[in-house]
Amino acid sequence: MAETSRRRPLSVAMVSASFHPYVGGAEKQALELAAALEAGGVRTRVLTRRLRGLAAEETVRGVRVTRLWCLGQNGFLNSASFCVSLFLHLLNQSLFYDAFHVHLAGSPALAAALSGRLLNKPVWVKIGGGRGVGELSGSAKTIPGRLKLRLLALLKPRFIAVSSDLVEEAAAYLGRVSVQVVPNGVDAERYRPAPAARKAELRRRFGWPAESLGFLYAGRIAPEKRLPHFLGAWAEAVKKFPDSRPFIAFVGDGIEAARLKDIAAYERMQDRVFLMPATDDASPFYAAADVFVLPSVSEGLSNALLEAMASGLAVLASRVGGTPEAVAEGRSGLLFAPENTDEIRTQVAKFLAHPDLAARLGREGREIALEKYSLAELAKRYEALYAEG
């Protein structure tokens, strides 16, 4: 990196096609990381699309956000015009930035990779989604998507994957490119175990049973999450423990919510199955629960999983993607094969048969979150990557 760059704080352009106040997993992680980098002394500016009703410039949690011109609200012209605006901005502001960090390997990654190649600046592209259902496999199914992958392979930005699973997929679709495994991070001060009195108060507010073991899912209620399948297996396991009276809550929106209601009605468990609307802040729900559930057929590394671990919840999740790398099986959670109904029932039964198990696993999960997934420490890792030049 140039001598002038080392005499001032490192400066990074963080690119995200959508950003606050539109919040998904990638957008949330981009904001959390940007705020942590700023707190650590790295000047960070988020570059995103300017959509209707949003300011061209603003500061969000101490991070400067620049919304670039684009046509319309979505579609090809919107995407193409944003890429042009992004490319011109990076060239025009080249003296300000030392590195470019792109969240998701979409078309904006091409604009950043090309400008990085012209300006001789490092470009990092974070791969999104889980293996087989993420953006790489999705892109490979269309002609424009395959062209995008081919161009990324030629431009050779450096890639970031949240799990080793995605490193293998990157090699399959992009060839011999540089991929670093850097997990998602979590704010362990914001997400932390709640005192008993707080937990009881939240359960009263939500209408959840006061003393029962509480299972929780938070996120999109989408087919790849396999929630109806899990709920059916959970209900079967619960019937064998008639005195335990556990409950399960699903926090989120999606096309499979109606199926969850139907299963609850069929199993006559409407008083133990709760569907709560999606929220930007799930921390009160983590604080009121005991066991976090993630039965997906594919995952990268779930933000909600890390938030639940930091909140002191035990984990009951499928053995896919980055989950087994984050969850110490038998120490901080119990895992299962996503399609194995018998294994799901067996793992649910362990929690019901041993009432102290959830608290013990949750304490260990909190320690793992502090040790391996602290945002402050991950921000230092990213700073080192940006500074490689």
Tell me the pLDDT tens digit for each residue of 20-38.
Answer: 887 788 888 999 999 999 9
Tens digit of pLDDT for each residue in 160-186?
A: 999 888 898 899 999 989 999 999 999
Give me the helix-helix angle, 375-386 and 25-39, nearest 10°: 80
How confident is the model at residue 4, as a pLDDT? 42
How confident is the model at residue 7, as a pLDDT? 58
Kindly list the structural domains of the chain, giving each domain's residue range(s) and its CATH number in brackets, ordered by start.
Answer: 3-185+374-386 (3.40.50.2000), 196-372 (3.40.50.2000)
Cβ-based neighbour number of residue 382 at 10 Å: 25
How confident is the model at residue 1, as a pLDDT? 46
Q: In angstroms, how far apart are the furthest CA atoms of the chain?
A: 70
Predicted TM-score of the model (pTM)? 0.91
Using the predicted structure, report yes or no on whether residue 275 has a pLDDT greater than 60: yes
Please give the share of the chain, as a percent, with pLDDT higher than 90: 84
Closest CA to 353 of 220, 252, 240: 240
How confident is the model at residue 5, as a pLDDT? 42
Closest CA to 159 of 45, 65, 300: 300
Using the predicted structure, report yes or no on whether residue 388 has a pLDDT greater than 90: no
Tens digit of pLDDT for each residue in 210-266?
A: 989 999 999 999 999 999 999 999 999 999 999 999 999 999 999 999 999 999 999
Please list, in sequence order, all residues whose beta carbon lies within 8 angstroms of the beta carbon of residue 295, skipping any fewer than 6 positions away: 217, 225, 226, 227, 229, 230, 317, 318, 336, 338, 344
Cα–Cα distance measured from residue 16 to residue 70, given in angstroms and rounded to the nearest whole number: 14
